[in-house]
Structure 1
């Protein structure tokens, strides 16, 4: 990787976080497409086995050098992986069986509020009025999609099992995001590789559970294609981009970008699943992007 390319891409937090949320938006579509092709906990196990295998081969020399530092923080890293990788993804793909791709994306928009609240409670990160305004704008955009442009729809909304599972998953990932603030002082690729290995190990009981429950489904050809996309895109590249984004601008500011996930999920659902694009989708897009712009103005002024 040339220095110019590294500075242009890997040093650009906004670009990295935009790509991250685009890949995660695609993950909501993949979760729905996987229904009937592969069981949810099988998806989780296979994705992390693939990712950990690829990453281990790629960074093995660096992993050997940094292993003494890794070993000293193994307990904390194991918890981060169990909640942020295995727990989040297991709940995510289980939720996909009970709710829509758009709802999966919408509920991921709750993570910035959870991250901001956690940053305030645990790290005493100050919250300024313009940041609150940005968060409110993005959340109104998310609510517009949830309500499909009608207030009465939002007022009648109730949590179905899939939405409930997704909300718990968001809490898990918000905790993981906050923990990245004080992650071990090892290289990002080594850090992610170790977490992916732990995730591969901790996801194996899920396969045993599905086998015992009689719900285990081996991937079809389409299922394998979905798993490879999930493994290389949302699981590998997006995680690396997100960790780098947090490293560059901090968890509270990086968390705001997660509000783009429901927008990208809706757009991809329109393109891939043939859903309609309506006025409230356009308005939500303006609100979400405007909220991120407000948050970034605050961040640049106080960096």
Structure 2
């Protein structure tokens, strides 16, 4: 399936919005706790996403809610666990490092698919996994591989590894869910809002008290949470999920560019590690059949939300 110019633009914009989530999220956690940021992000996004699902998917909501146990688990993993780990990690590491580690997600998904689903990658797949992991280790150690022997890693980077693992399990479970993409995402977001509400109340969660914090939250609620989901799923109407997944490689590039524009320096280990990670993802994604690795015909639509952040 050939990607149309309009779909390509949608995919590029979606990855740009998700890249901004790393940079803006790092700014937001200086004035909001990770719990506050996670709760308010989904609280503001829930109703618009439900309305969007009704307009785009026109689902049978009773049929969707038959899968509520799986949707609740996915909400716990993707909307709660991943987001909380990401925003907590951004208290301790840079947005660029976080995006570089996240870029190894496709390789870990291939490994989990092999273990859990029995989907075995080919030689290129395993080579890509090796390259990707090498890139992540280079970023984690900053080029000082003796840190591996001392197990001396930044807390934020370890939390990002946890976030990557959580998102990988989310993706593996989501692959088999026969629910329209935006509808599934909207229900998960609504569930996350309800589940996190008591935690937010107990911890005294408040809206940001500064203009910068308010604008950061507004960006996160509108662009990564609403705009990116809409553009991603509109593009997937005419684009194969595997092809769309390759566009996620741009997240590292966009995050690096935004970081440089904001005046931050990029180290040589970050550059080399990023190149290894992106190269590994490209090898892992190389498929003669044009389908996503490990996905059988007829199962691809369950991947429509695998790249969401």
1:192-207 correspondence runs (5 A): 192-207=185-200
State the Cα distance separating 1:206 from its structure 2 match: 3.1
Which structure has more helix as a fraction of its residues? 1
Long gaps (5+) in structure 1: none
Task: Judge conservation of contact 1:37–1:217 (CA < 8 Å) in 2.
Answer: no
For the pair 1:275 / 2:264, whether they are aligned, the reply is yes
1:23-62 correspondence runs (5 A): 23-60=17-54
1:298 to 287, 294, 301: 287
Task: Judge conservation of contact 1:138–1:289 (CA < 8 Å) in 2.
Answer: yes
Give the Cα–Cα distance (whole angstroms) in 1 for the partners of residues 102 and 278 of structure 2. 16
State the Cα distance separating 1:224 from its structure 2 match: 1.5
- How many positions carry a matched residue from both structures? 288
1:287 to 276, 288, 292: 276
1:94 to 88, 91, 102: 88
Give the Cα–Cα distance (whole angstroms) in 1 for the partners of residues 104 and 151 of structure 2. 16
State the Cα distance separating 1:129 from its structure 2 match: 0.8
> TM-score scaled to structure 2, two decimals?
0.77
Which residue is equivalent to 2:98? 104
Moved more, 33-42 or 100-109: 100-109
State the Cα distance separating 1:176 from its structure 2 match: 1.0
Task: Judge conservation of contact 1:45–1:204 (CA < 8 Å) in 2.
Answer: yes
State the Cα distance separating 1:47 from its structure 2 match: 0.9
Are the structure 2 counterparts of residues 63 and 263 from structure 1 closer, same or farther at C-alpha, using a change threshold of 3 Å?
closer
Are the structure 2 counterparts of residues 174 and 9 from structure 1 closer, same or farther at C-alpha, using a change threshold of 3 Å?
farther
Are the structure 2 counterparts of residues 88 and 104 from structure 1 closer, same or farther at C-alpha, using a change threshold of 3 Å?
same
Are the structure 2 counterparts of residues 15 and 298 from structure 1 closer, same or farther at C-alpha, using a change threshold of 3 Å?
farther
Are the structure 2 counterparts of residues 234 and 158 from structure 1 closer, same or farther at C-alpha, using a change threshold of 3 Å?
farther
Task: Judge conservation of contact 2:240–2:291 (CA < 8 Å) in 1.
Answer: no
Which residue is equivalent to 1:146? 140
1:226 to 195, 204, 216: 216
User: Alpha-carbon deviations, 1:159-204, whole Å to 9, x = none?
Assistant: 344333333222221111111211123x222222212211221221
Give the Cα–Cα distance (whole angstroms) in 1 for the partners of residues 252 and 147 of structure 2. 18
Q: Secondary structure at 1:182's aligned position in 2? A: coil
Give the Cα–Cα distance (whole angstroms) in 1 for the partners of residues 268 and 30 of structure 2. 33
Moved more, 54-63 or 116-125: 54-63
Give the Cα–Cα distance (whole angstroms) in 2 for the partners of residues 48 and 100 of structure 1. 23
Long gaps (5+) in structure 2: 293-309
Are the structure 2 counterparts of residues 301 and 58 from structure 1 closer, same or farther at C-alpha, using a change threshold of 3 Å?
closer
State the Cα distance separating 1:37 from its structure 2 match: 2.2
For the pair 1:67 / 2:61, whether they are aligned, the reply is yes
Which residue is equivalent to 1:114? 108
> TM-score scaled to structure 1, two decimals?
0.78
